[in-house]
Amino acid sequence: MITYLVIVVFIYEQILATQNDLGRMTERKKVNDKESALRNRIMEHMNLQHETSLLDYVQHYCKMPRPRRAVMTDISTEEVEVLYTMRSGQQKKVSLKFQKPIKSLSLARDQLVRMAKVAAEGLGYSPYTVSNFRFMNFPGFITFTGVTTIFASLAVPSKYFDSDSLIFDYIPRDYLEYTLKFEQFRFLIAMTVAAIHFVEACIMIRRTRFYRVPLGPRLLWVLATLFEGFPAMMRFSSEVEKATSG
């Protein structure tokens, strides 16, 4: 009888142990499935939205020419794995370790952002990018038109204030006499404005490069600055502010 009870207790303990093992295996599987899903989401996000950062990773941390393409192929709590393609077509994988190992992939974002920031700044770029061009709004257009008209009238008043012009009857005589005195300086006025806008356009070229604006929007920003001057620079600054705060 005692032997029978011992056997029953032993079998019962084995059943409990097996159930516990199965429970732990199930929990580990859930954790692994969750980590795997998170890993895939991170890689998909980086490959679709942040290829520039991946290219920066390879160029900066590996101290090599910029690849033509880069794809994140794996990520763990200690490192990221990137497959890059050189312009010659040669492909190679590289493992880039985090500054410190992380406890979970849910904490990977901060590490990836830090790596991207260090890499971009090391290459002479901003870690933030501006990808679009923004046209002037209606109040800006009115202001630009008004300022342009005033400058043009100062530069070539005889063209604007001819007695046969449509606006001649609406111009105060005092203003007409005042602007006519500037006609001898029209070339100087025109060249000064052109020089200021040229300098501003050169500054815009540097700024669009620093924030890595794509070629199409970059050309529009430079042309807008060449014609508008300061208003275009202010619009670009607001786009930069959006990028840095987002």
Strand order in the sheet with 69-75: 69-75, 79-85, 91-97
- The secondary structure of residue 67, as a DSSP letter, is P
What's the Cα-to-Cα distance from 153 to each of 92, 146, 163, 190, 246, rounded to whole Å? 63, 11, 14, 11, 43
Bridge partners (DSSP) of residue 74 are: 81
Q: What is the dihedral of CA 18, 21, 23, 27, to 10 degrees?
A: -160
Q: What pLDDT is attached to residue 48? A: 92
Give the amino acid at 151: F
Q: Identify the segments of the chain with pLDDT beneath 70.
A: 1-33, 147, 149-184, 186, 246
DSSP calls for 160-197: HS-TTSTTGGGS-HHHHHHHHTTGGGHHHHHHHHHHHH
CATH code of the domain made up of 33-122 = 3.20.180.10
Q: What pLDDT is attached to residue 126? A: 93
* Calpha distance 194→229 (Å, rounded): 9
Q: State pTM to two decimals.
A: 0.68
* Calpha distance 45→29 (Å, rounded): 24
Residue 73 phi/psi, 5° resolution?
-105, -15
Q: What pLDDT is attached to residue 136? A: 85
* Calpha distance 153→159 (Å, rounded): 8
* Helices 51-61 + 2-49 axis angle, to 10: 90
Q: Where are the domains of the chain?
A: 33-122, 138-245
